[in-house]
Amino acid sequence: MKIRDVMTKELIKSNPDSELEDAMKIMITKGIRRLVVGDLLGIVTVRDLVYGWLEGKKRVKDVMTTDLLMVSPDLEVRQATKIMTGKGVGSLLVYENDKVVGIVTERDLLRSCRIEGEARVGDVMKVDPVISSPNASVMEIANVMKENWERHAIVVEESLPAGVISIRDVAESIVQGKAKSRASEIMRRPVYKVTPDSLLETARTLMSTENIGYLPVVDSRTVLGSVEEREILAVVSI
């Protein structure tokens, strides 16, 4: 399968001088996690926007990434996963005939691949996810995410996950003026989860079906870790 088969052709853009909250609003409205800035001046993710907002930055140009990675639409999906995981990025611009014709993201690749064999969640999971209490404020959670360079937090009650909060949920709270809300007010439910013994293909299928990029890893008593789409794609790229 090639990139042209899975890429998104529509490029949603932001002005480099736009305020961070305005760019967040576009992402929330469009249901996306990144924007192309101007005429290929850069790319900005929802994490860039939230972290920049926490630092007091004002404009998209202050937080965007200018090192753009471009690939051919004829590149094989597996090769794209190698580039994406090797560079530690979540998207690639697709370039053909001297122009950008689309964008491909981690989520696009996750949907289009399969994990062969017996690889398990426990082989790749993180063992130190960001954990929050239901009473923590959105601001508190966002700052812990930033300190740990994470995009998700698990809200825990009685040692087990009660909800999940993503950096996009934080952005939505910011644009709605609810940054002082509690975790219990914005967390996502139901909580989709896996165990260390779950096949990675099971985790990949669950993420693809539910359109999520993160799963808590649990046993019957407690949270053991987490797995993201990036960890799964790293296995695909081997």
Task: State the pLDDT at residue 236.
Answer: 86
Q: What mean pLDDT value characterizes the chain?
A: 95
Please check the confidence at residue 170 and state whether its pLDDT lies above 80.
yes
Q: pLDDT at residue 163 above 80?
A: yes
Mean pLDDT for the stretch of residues 21-32:
96
Residue 91 bridge partners (DSSP): 105
Phi-psi region of 8 (alpha: psi -120 to 50; beta: other; left: phi over 0): beta
The reply to whether CATH 3.40.50.1820 applies to domain 121-236 is: no
User: Nearest Cα to 228, choosing from 206, 237, 22, 60?
Assistant: 206
Amino acid at position 28, single letter: I
- Residue-level pLDDT at 102: 95
What are the φ/ψ torsions at residue 15 (nearest 5 degrees)?
A: -75, 140
Name the CATH superfamily housing domain 3-112. CBS-domain (3.10.580.10)
Q: What is the pLDDT of residue 98?
A: 87
CA distance 23 to 80: 27
Averaged pLDDT, 29-45: 94
- Lookup: tokens for 222: 């407690």
Dihedral over Cα of 90, 111, 76, 119: its sign: positive
Average pLDDT over residues 70-78: 95
What does residue 19 show for φ and ψ, rounded to 5 degrees? -75, 150
Strands (E) across the chain are located at: 13-14, 34-37, 42-45, 70-71, 91-96, 99-105, 131-132, 152-157, 160-166, 214-218, 223-228
Q: Is residue 93 over pLDDT 90? A: yes
Cα(183)–Cα(187) distance, integer angstroms: 6
Q: Are the beta carbons of 68 and 188 closer than 8 angstroms?
A: no
Computed from CA positions of residues 46, 78, 111, 73, in that sequence, does the dihedral angle turn out positive or negative? positive
Tokens found for residue 109: 């690749």
Which tens digit of pLDDT belongs to each residue from 209-235? Answer: 999 999 999 999 999 999 999 999 999
Averaged pLDDT, 19-38: 96
Tell me if 3-112 shares its fold with 121-236: yes
Q: Where are the domains of the chain?
A: 3-112, 121-236
Q: What is the phi/psi pair of residue 53, to 5°?
A: -60, -40
- Band of pLDDT at residue 188, cut at 50, 70 and 90: very high
The stretch 3-26 carries a mean pLDDT of 96
In this prediction, residue 116 has a pLDDT band, given cuts at 50, 70 and 90, of confident
